DNA sequence: CAACCTTGGCTAATGGGATTAGTTTTCTAG
DNA sequence: CTAGAAAACTAATCCCATTAGCCAAGGTTG
């Protein structure tokens, strides 16, 4: 048998790609093995289970999400930063729907879980994006949660084709950003 | 064999209860059959598949969600209506986490799908809740989508235990309502 | 160079969940 | 009282995750 020369990162990367292509819930060990040119049980030399794969996809996604949002908000403040953050978020989800679904409700073992740490970094980035609004420190938590909830909700609706009417989702998106911007002042 | 005397609605009801108890993704045909005092294959006399059960749970959930929100906003307008709507939404999800998860990304076949129709009724109810803000008609769509996205996002984060910090989610919730209220004026 | 041993792949087998086929029992209408 | 529809049941199939146990590849070490 010629060796496939797999590395864990290659397995996770392929799994993430596959999740984006076929949908997170259709990602199966058999499919992943096929994509890697290997038999299903061989995967268990690199990952411990399907749940493990899913957890790693989630971690990858949150890490990448932090990267792109960090880039996006660089050099902006206030409403510009908010819009940049939201747009980066949405674009990532549009291009990586499977990865994104992996992050929804992904279980975390504790504070030393890489997924937790990636999440903490992302939260930190989002905090930076809000800096321009000069919120009182006791309100930052609420603002962050609001942002998370809003982006998440919008992304989910869009990802699952929740906008049935013909009206342009982009327009709604900008409308939403304006609303939050107004709300964060006042 | 004494007959269990099942009806489709009883099956779906038990499935919804079970989903709330054990978690949507742990709902299995075997578990459902056991709950109903019946063997697994017998269920197929009442529903066509697990996907069918899931779809029916989603429809039930959206219908009930419409009922409770409709009751909640009756007699209120403006910010009161908004708060009543949001609170009803959240309470329902808190009490019925499994049902709620069923609605996330539930596939719909078309405009004659009962799930679609329940969704349309709910949208109608939400429109009524916003009436007090006297929005220009071309903005109603955007406002509705924003509400949906926001509630959905908040509910998801709460359902999946997304609020890691010790700060009170209730406080965030009220903060969020204030923010939207401010945003809807202006 | 050759024995070695770790690594990564394979086949075969197990177990659980969904679903189908075919049979039997219970009601209910006539 | 009986026939036939409705609703259970048992047995069997298929798909997927996972485990057990075997084997080759290829670097390492004397």
Residue whose C-alpha is closest to residue A120's, from A66, A170, A179: A66
Rounded to the nearest 10 degrees, how much is the dihedral formed by the CA atoms of B93, B96, B100, B102? Answer: 170
Mutate to test the interface with A, among B90, B102, B149 (most CBs of A within 10 A): B149
All residues of chain A having their beta carbon less than 8 Å from the beta carbon of residue B151 are: 153
Whether pLDDT at A137 is above 50: yes
**Closest chain A residue to B111, measured at CA:** A164
Q: What is the DSSP letter of A81?
A: H
Q: Within chain B, how many helices (H) and strands (E) appear?
A: 8, 0
- A169 with A163: CB under 8 angstroms? yes
Residue A135 CA to residue A127 CA, distance in Å, equals 10
Interface size A-B, in CB pairs within 8 Å, comes to 110
CA distance B61 to chain A (A): 16
Quick one: closest CA in B to A176, which residue?
B146
A117 touches strand C (CB under 7 A): no
Structure tokens at B16: 């919804």
What average pLDDT does the segment A66-95 reach?
96
Q: Is A172 within 8 Å of B104 when comparing Cβ atoms?
A: no
Please name the residue that has the structure tokens 């204030």.
Answer: B178
Pairwise pLDDT comparison (A168 vs A16), residue with the higher score: A16
How far apart, in whole angstroms, are the C-alpha atoms of residue A87 and residue A162? 18
pLDDT at A75: 96
The helix (H) or strand (E) run that includes residue B46 is none
Nearest C-alpha in A relative to B159: A105
Q: How far are the Cα atoms of A61, A180, A181, B96, B164 from residue B186, in angstroms, in the given order?
A: 36, 11, 11, 35, 33
Q: How far apart are CA B147 and CA B176, in angstroms?
A: 11
Rounded distance in angstroms from the CA atom of residue A43 to the C1' atom of nucleotide D21: 16
DSSP letter at B108 equals -
pLDDT at A156: 82
Instruction: State residue A2's pLDDT score.
Output: 43
Comparing C-alpha atoms, which of B18, B132, B151, B14 is closest to residue B73? B132
Q: What angle do CA A11, A93, B60 make, to 5 degrees?
A: 105
Find which of B51, B112, B145, B170 to mutate to test the A interface (most A CBs within 10 Å of its CB): B145
Q: To 5 degrees, how large is the angle CA B125–CA B129–CA B132?
A: 145
Instruction: Pick the residue of A24, A147, A151, A153 with the most B CBs within 10 A to test the interface with B by mutation.
Output: A153
Beta strands in chain A, from DSSP E residues, in sequence order: none
Angstrom distance, B7 CA to D9 C1': 18
pLDDT at A117 over 80: yes
The pLDDT of residue A50 is above 80: yes
The answer on pLDDT for A141 being more than 80 is yes
* Mean local confidence (pLDDT), A152-162: 79
Sign (positive/negative) of CA torsion A139, A140, A146, A150?
Answer: positive
Q: How far, in Å, is the CA of A49 from the C1' of nucleotide D22?
A: 22
Per the CB < 8 A criterion, the answer to whether A57 and A97 are in contact is: no
For residue B17, with 0-12 CB atoms within 10 Å meaning exposed, 13-18 middle and 19 or more buried, which class applies?
A: middle
Closest residue of B to A149, CA-based? B153
A163 and B175: CB-CB below 8 Å? no
H or E element in which residue A119 lies: helix A114-130
Torsion of CA A108, A114, A115, A119, to 10 degrees: 120
Nearest to A171 among B142, B161, B175 (CB): B142
**Reported pTM:** 0.92
Q: What pLDDT score was predicted for residue A161?
A: 65
For residue A91, is pLDDT > 70? yes
Interface of A with B (CB under 8 A): 104-105, 116, 119, 139, 141-143, 145-146, 148-154, 156-157, 159-160, 162-165, 167, 169, 171-172, 175-176, 178-180, 182-184, 186
Q: Which H/E stretch holds residue A167?
A: none
Q: What is the average per-residue pLDDT within B81-86?
A: 97
Give the model confidence (pLDDT) of A17-43 as tens digits. Answer: 999 999 999 999 999 999 999 999 999
pLDDT at A162: 64
């Amino acid at each position: 048998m010629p060796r496939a020369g797999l590395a864990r990162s290659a397995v996770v990367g392929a799994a993430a790609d596959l999740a984006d292509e076929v949908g997170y819930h259709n990602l199966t060990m058999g499919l992943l093995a096929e994509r890697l040119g290997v038999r299903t049980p061989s995967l268990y030399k690199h990952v411990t289970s399907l749940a493990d794969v899913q957890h790693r996809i989630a971690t990858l996604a949150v890490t990448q999400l932090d990267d792109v949002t960090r880039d996006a908000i660089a050099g902006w403040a206030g409403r510009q930063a908010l819009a940049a953050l939201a747009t980066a978020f949405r674009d990532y989800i549009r291009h990586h729907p499977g990865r994104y679904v992996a992050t929804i409700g992904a279980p975390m073992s504790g504070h030393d879980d890489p997924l937790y740490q990636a999440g903490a970094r992302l939260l930190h980035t989002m905090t930076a994006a809000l800096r321009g609004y000069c919120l009182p420190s006791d309100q930052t938590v609420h603002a962050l949660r609001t942002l998370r909830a809003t982006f998440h909700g919008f992304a989910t609706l869009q990802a699952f084709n929740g906008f049935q009417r013909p009206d342009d989702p982009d327009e709604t998106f900008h409308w939403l950003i304006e609303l939050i911007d107004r709300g964060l002042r006042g």
